[in-house]
Amino acid sequence: MGLRIFMHSLRLVFTQLGDALRVSGVLYLIVVAVSALLGATTRHPSPPNIFLAILGALVTGLAYLWIAIGWHRFVLLDERPPTWVPQLPGDRLPAYLGRSIQLSFLAGVAGCAIWLPVMILFAVGFPPLITIVGGLGALTVLLLVSYRLAPMLPGAALGSALGVKEAWAATSGANGTILLLAVVTAIGSVLLGLPTYFMFISAAGPSPLSFVWGSIAGWINLMVGVSILTTLYGVYVQKRSIT
C-alpha cells in the first residue's frame, strides 16, 4: 500500500502537470529567485545580511504554505485557481501553519526521546554502532509520527477540525504502510538529488546547471511530498480508494 500511495502521488502531479504548475509555478519561481539572491549574497566577501536571510526564509515559508494549501484544495475539492497566481488563502494560513508547527514539535520530541539516550550511552563509552542504530531508530520514529499525523495538514487546508487525536486514530494500523512509504520517498528524493551532487563535484562547486536542476528537483520533491500528504488524507480520513 505504501508503494501505491507513492505512485498515486506521482501521478497526481505529472498527469495534471498544467494544474500543478498553475497552483505552484509563479510562487515557486519566487522561491527560486530568493534562493539565487541569498546564494549570491552568501558568496559575497562582505558579512552576510541577517535581515535579508530572515526575510528570504519568511518569503519561502509563505510560498510553500500557499502552494501546499492550494494543491490540497485542488486535489480534494477540485478547486482550480482562476489565475497563475492563486488567491492568498488568508483564512487557512494560520491554521495550516499552526498544525505544521504542532506536527513538527511532536515528531521532533518523539525522535529525540530515542536519540538523546543513545547519545548519552555513546558519550559514556558505548560502541559507535549504538549511535548508528539509535540514529536510524530516531529517524524511523520521526518519520512514522510525521506521516501518522500528516492528515492534519490537508484537514487544515480544507477547514476541517482534524487534530492530533483524530489523525492518529485515522491512521491506526498503517505503521507498515507508512514506514514503506517513508523509505520509498527517501530513496526517490536521493535519486532525484544525485545529478545535482555529480554536477557540483564535476564543477568543483556550484554551477548554473546544478542550480537549475536543483530547483527542478526541489519543485518535484515539494509537489510529490504535498501530494503524499493529500493522498494520506484521502485514503485514511475520507476513505477514498486509489489504484
* pLDDT tens-digit profile, the chain (243 residues): 888 999 999 999 999 999 999 999 999 999 999 888 777 665 555 555 677 778 888 999 999 999 999 999 999 999 888 888 888 888 899 999 999 999 999 988 887 887 777 777 777 766 767 677 777 777 778 888 889 999 999 999 998 889 999 999 999 988 899 989 988 888 888 888 888 878 877 766 667 788 888 899 999 999 999 999 999 999 999 989 887
Whether the CB-CB separation of 127 and 70 falls below 8 Å is answered with no
Q: Is 200 helix (H, G, I), strand (E, B) or coil?
A: helix
**Which stretches of the chain are assigned E, i.e. beta strand?**
none
| Residue 15 structural domain | 2-236
* pTM summary value: 0.86
In a domain, 243, yes or no: no
In a domain, 121, yes or no: yes
In a domain, 241, yes or no: no
Euclidean distance between CA atoms 243 and 8, whole angstroms: 7
Whether the CB-CB separation of 158 and 76 falls below 8 Å is answered with yes
Residue 152 burial class via C-beta count within 10 angstroms: exposed 0-12, middle 13-18, buried 19 and up: buried
Single-letter residue type at 174: A
Whether the CB-CB separation of 118 and 129 falls below 8 Å is answered with no
Q: Which of 109, 86, 106, 87 has the alpha carbon at shortest distance from 98?
A: 106
In a domain, 37, yes or no: yes
In a domain, 80, yes or no: yes
In a domain, 110, yes or no: yes
In a domain, 178, yes or no: yes
Question: How many separate domains does the chain show?
Answer: 1
In a domain, 242, yes or no: no
